[in-house]
Protein backbone atom coordinates (compact mmCIF):
# COMPACT_ATOMS: atom_id res chain seq x y z
CA UNK A 1 0.00 0.00 0.00
CA UNK A 2 1.15 3.51 -0.81
CA UNK A 3 2.03 5.52 2.30
CA UNK A 4 1.40 8.95 0.76
CA UNK A 5 -1.13 11.64 1.59
CA UNK A 6 -4.79 10.86 2.17
CA UNK A 7 -6.66 12.55 -0.69
CA UNK A 8 -10.33 12.79 -1.70
CA UNK A 9 -11.52 13.29 -5.27
CA UNK A 10 -15.06 14.22 -6.30
CA UNK A 11 -16.18 12.55 -9.51
CA UNK A 12 -19.08 13.70 -11.67
CA UNK A 13 -20.45 13.26 -15.18
CA UNK A 14 -23.64 14.23 -16.98
CA UNK A 15 -23.02 13.42 -20.64
CA UNK A 16 -23.12 10.00 -22.29
CA UNK A 17 -23.25 6.94 -20.04
CA UNK A 18 -22.36 8.92 -16.93
CA UNK A 19 -22.49 5.97 -14.53
CA UNK A 20 -20.11 3.91 -16.66
CA UNK A 21 -17.81 6.93 -17.03
CA UNK A 22 -17.59 7.44 -13.26
CA UNK A 23 -16.90 3.74 -12.71
CA UNK A 24 -14.16 3.82 -15.37
CA UNK A 25 -12.74 7.02 -13.84
CA UNK A 26 -12.34 5.23 -10.49
CA UNK A 27 -10.13 2.72 -12.32
CA UNK A 28 -8.18 5.50 -14.06
CA UNK A 29 -7.44 7.17 -10.71
CA UNK A 30 -5.98 3.90 -9.41
CA UNK A 31 -3.44 3.85 -12.27
CA UNK A 32 -1.81 7.18 -11.38
CA UNK A 33 1.87 6.84 -10.43
CA UNK A 34 2.55 6.54 -6.72
CA UNK A 35 -1.19 6.33 -6.08
CA UNK A 36 -3.68 3.73 -4.91
CA UNK A 37 -7.45 3.90 -4.55
CA UNK A 38 -8.39 3.14 -0.94
CA UNK A 39 -12.18 3.56 -1.11
CA UNK A 40 -14.95 4.26 -3.60
CA UNK A 41 -18.35 5.62 -2.65
CA UNK A 42 -21.58 4.49 -4.21
CA UNK A 43 -22.86 6.41 -7.21
CA UNK A 44 -25.48 9.10 -6.69
CA UNK A 45 -27.76 10.95 -9.09
CA UNK A 46 -28.20 14.70 -8.58
CA UNK A 47 -29.65 17.65 -10.42
CA UNK A 48 -27.08 20.09 -11.82
CA UNK A 49 -26.00 22.86 -9.41
CA UNK A 50 -24.95 26.12 -11.06
CA UNK A 51 -24.91 24.16 -14.33
CA UNK A 52 -27.15 23.05 -17.17
CA UNK A 53 -27.87 19.75 -18.82
CA UNK A 54 -29.00 16.33 -17.63
CA UNK A 55 -28.67 15.04 -14.07
CA UNK A 56 -25.20 14.22 -12.83
CA UNK A 57 -23.83 10.96 -11.54
CA UNK A 58 -21.49 11.74 -8.64
CA UNK A 59 -19.17 9.83 -6.34
CA UNK A 60 -16.09 10.34 -4.16
CA UNK A 61 -12.84 8.39 -4.17
CA UNK A 62 -10.28 8.17 -1.40
CA UNK A 63 -6.72 7.88 -2.62
CA UNK A 64 -3.28 7.59 -1.10
CA UNK A 65 -0.76 9.37 -3.25
CA UNK A 66 2.88 10.33 -3.28
CA UNK A 67 2.15 13.02 -5.89
CA UNK A 68 2.25 16.66 -4.90
CA UNK A 69 -1.08 18.54 -5.12
CA UNK A 70 -0.21 20.40 -8.33
CA UNK A 71 1.00 17.22 -10.03
CA UNK A 72 -2.16 15.40 -8.96
CA UNK A 73 -4.31 18.25 -10.32
CA UNK A 74 -2.52 18.00 -13.69
CA UNK A 75 -3.05 14.23 -13.71
CA UNK A 76 -6.77 14.73 -12.98
CA UNK A 77 -7.02 17.14 -15.91
CA UNK A 78 -5.29 14.55 -18.13
CA UNK A 79 -7.81 11.89 -17.08
CA UNK A 80 -10.70 14.29 -17.78
CA UNK A 81 -9.28 14.99 -21.25
CA UNK A 82 -8.90 11.26 -21.94
CA UNK A 83 -12.65 10.93 -21.28
CA UNK A 84 -13.41 13.71 -23.78
CA UNK A 85 -13.82 16.58 -21.32
CA UNK A 86 -14.16 19.95 -23.01
CA UNK A 87 -14.39 23.32 -21.28
CA UNK A 88 -16.36 25.56 -23.66
CA UNK A 89 -17.68 27.68 -20.78
CA UNK A 90 -17.92 27.64 -16.98
CA UNK A 91 -20.29 24.93 -15.66
CA UNK A 92 -20.82 23.39 -19.09
CA UNK A 93 -22.18 19.83 -19.20
CA UNK A 94 -19.29 17.40 -19.01
CA UNK A 95 -18.24 13.89 -19.83
CA UNK A 96 -16.16 13.82 -16.64
CA UNK A 97 -15.34 16.22 -13.83
CA UNK A 98 -12.67 15.39 -11.24
CA UNK A 99 -12.40 17.78 -8.31
CA UNK A 100 -9.54 17.65 -5.83
CA UNK A 101 -11.51 18.08 -2.58
CA UNK A 102 -9.05 17.42 0.25
CA UNK A 103 -5.32 16.73 0.25
CA UNK A 104 -4.35 15.63 3.73
CA UNK A 105 -4.56 18.69 5.95
CA UNK A 106 -2.98 20.97 3.37
CA UNK A 107 -4.34 24.44 2.72
CA UNK A 108 -3.40 25.96 -0.62
CA UNK A 109 -4.72 29.12 -2.26
CA UNK A 110 -3.18 29.82 -5.66
CA UNK A 111 -4.76 30.83 -8.97
CA UNK A 112 -4.49 27.18 -10.10
CA UNK A 113 -5.56 25.35 -6.96
CA UNK A 114 -7.52 25.95 -3.77
CA UNK A 115 -7.46 23.32 -1.02
CA UNK A 116 -9.63 22.31 0.60
CA UNK A 117 -12.03 22.74 -2.32
CA UNK A 118 -13.84 26.00 -1.52
CA UNK A 119 -17.41 24.72 -1.83
CA UNK A 120 -17.25 21.04 -0.93
CA UNK A 121 -19.19 21.42 2.33
CA UNK A 122 -22.02 23.21 0.48
CA UNK A 123 -22.76 20.42 -1.96
CA UNK A 124 -24.77 17.34 -1.08
CA UNK A 125 -23.34 15.55 -4.12
CA UNK A 126 -19.95 15.72 -2.37
CA UNK A 127 -20.92 15.50 1.30
CA UNK A 128 -23.15 12.41 1.00
CA UNK A 129 -20.65 10.19 -0.86
CA UNK A 130 -17.78 11.47 1.28
CA UNK A 131 -19.72 10.62 4.45
CA UNK A 132 -20.16 7.09 3.12
CA UNK A 133 -16.40 6.44 2.91
CA UNK A 134 -15.01 8.90 5.49
CA UNK A 135 -17.77 9.85 7.95
CA UNK A 136 -15.29 11.51 10.30
CA UNK A 137 -14.61 14.18 7.66
CA UNK A 138 -18.15 15.00 6.59
CA UNK A 139 -20.04 17.93 8.11
CA UNK A 140 -23.00 17.10 10.34
CA UNK A 141 -25.48 18.92 8.12
CA UNK A 142 -26.03 17.76 4.55
CA UNK A 143 -26.79 20.73 2.31
CA UNK A 144 -29.26 20.84 -0.53
CA UNK A 145 -31.65 18.30 -1.96
CA UNK A 146 -31.67 14.58 -1.22
CA UNK A 147 -29.65 12.49 -3.63
CA UNK A 148 -30.71 9.25 -5.25
CA UNK A 149 -28.27 6.41 -4.64
CA UNK A 150 -27.98 4.48 -7.90
CA UNK A 151 -25.21 1.99 -7.31
Average pLDDT over every residue of 27-49: 94
Average pLDDT over every residue of 83-97: 74
Overall domain count for the chain:
1
Q: What range does the domain containing 63 cover?
A: 5-149
- Is the entire prediction scored with pTM above 0.85? yes
pLDDT (0 to 100) of residue 91? 61
- Residue 109 φ then ψ, to 5°: -140, 90
Which residue numbers are catalytic? 85, 94, 97, 99
Average pLDDT over every residue of 139-150: 80
What CATH number is given to the structural domain containing 92? 3.30.70.560
Residues 6+ apart with CB under 8 A from 30: 36, 37
pLDDT (0 to 100) of residue 51? 73
61: β partners: 9, 40
**Higher model confidence: residue 42 or residue 84?**
42
Q: Does the pLDDT of residue 96 top 90, yes or no? A: yes
Amino acid sequence: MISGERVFIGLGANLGDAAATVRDAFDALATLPGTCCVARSSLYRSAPVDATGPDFVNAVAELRTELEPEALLCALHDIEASFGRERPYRHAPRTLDLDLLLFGKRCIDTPELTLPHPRWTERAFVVVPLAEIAPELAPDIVPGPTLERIG
